């Protein structure tokens, strides 16, 4: 399985997910930098994502919605704070209203993605989500954030395996 560890730290107000892949850091970075590839794994299988804006640069904005089994479409956005390909991505992650404006009734959090080579052809990706308060952390975890992120990242191996068999869609 791709995901090697998930740790919650209520004192640090953080959730950390670690995953390892049989791929280069540059290839793992593409999973974030290409919105069509990001759509193939961001969100659990029952809530696939559609990215409608993807400006992966400091000060940029990423907008998406997920489509649930009942047709519901929760929306989200990232305010991109830091980009250092292929090692680091830092964003402010929040929920948005139908018009794309931030949904202030839901807490936002910050996540940092770190991608590092751990051996020939192997890469570790860590996603550390930081919450503004204990209440925000508890609220987002109660919505299934930990399970959803684990399910989402667990889909990456299939994408990378498709690359090796020549059946992967990189566009």
Per-residue pLDDT tens digits for 113-137: 999 999 989 999 999 999 999 999 9
Report which of 143, 122, 130 is spatially closest to residue 16, judged by C-alpha positions.
130
CATH of the domain at 133: 3.30.530.20
**Is 171 a member of any domain?**
no
Q: Which domain holds residue 27?
A: 3-165
Which residues contact residue 83 at a Cβ distance below 8 angstroms, ignoring those fewer than 6 apart? Answer: 56, 57, 58, 60, 89, 90
Instruction: Answer yes or no: is pLDDT of 167 > 70.
Output: no
Average pLDDT of span 65-77: 95
Tokens, residue 152: 């989402």
Instruction: Answer yes or no: is pLDDT of 171 > 80.
Output: no
**Is 23 a member of any domain?**
yes
Instruction: Answer yes or no: is pLDDT of 169 > 80.
Output: no
Which residues contact residue 5 at a Cβ distance below 8 angstroms, ignoring those fewer than 6 apart? Answer: 16, 17, 18
**Is 15 a member of any domain?**
yes
pLDDT score at 67 = 96
**Is 93 a member of any domain?**
yes
Whether pTM exceeds 0.75 = yes
**Is 170 a member of any domain?**
no
**Is 16 a member of any domain?**
yes
Average pLDDT of span 76-99: 97
pLDDT score at 165 = 54
Nearest-angstrom CA–CA distance, 45 and 154:
10
- Percent of the chain predicted with pLDDT > 70: 95
Segments in 21-155 forming alpha helices (H): 25-33, 35-39, 134-142, 145-153
Q: Which residue in the block uniquely carries the two structure tokens 């929306």?
A: 75
Average pLDDT of span 40-66: 96
Number of domains in the chain: 1
Task: Read off the DSSP letter of residue 170.
Answer: -
In angstroms and rounded to an integer, the radius of gyration of the C-alpha atoms of the chain is: 15
């Amino acid at each position: 399985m791709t995901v090697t560890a998930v740790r919650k730290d209520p004192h640090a107000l953080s959730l950390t997910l670690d995953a390892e892949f049989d791929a280069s850091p540059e290839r793992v970075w593409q999973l974030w930098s290409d919105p069509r590839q990001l759509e193939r794994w961001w969100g659990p299988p029952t809530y696939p994502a559609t990215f409608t804006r993807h400006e992966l640069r400091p000060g940029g904005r990423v907008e998406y919605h997920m489509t649930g089994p009942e047709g519901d479409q929760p929306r989200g956005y990232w305010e991109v704070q830091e980009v250092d390909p292929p090692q680091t991505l830092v964003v402010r992650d929040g929920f948005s209203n139908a018009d794309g404006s931030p949904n202030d009734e839901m807490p936002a959090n910050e996540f940092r993605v770190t991608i590092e080579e751990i051996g020939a052809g192997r890469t570790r990706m860590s996603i550390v989500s930081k919450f503004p308060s204990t209440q925000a952390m508890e609220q987002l975890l109660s919505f299934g954030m930990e399970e959803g992120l684990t399910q989402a990242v667990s889909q990456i191996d299939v994408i990378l395996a498709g690359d090796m068999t020549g059946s992967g869609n990189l566009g």
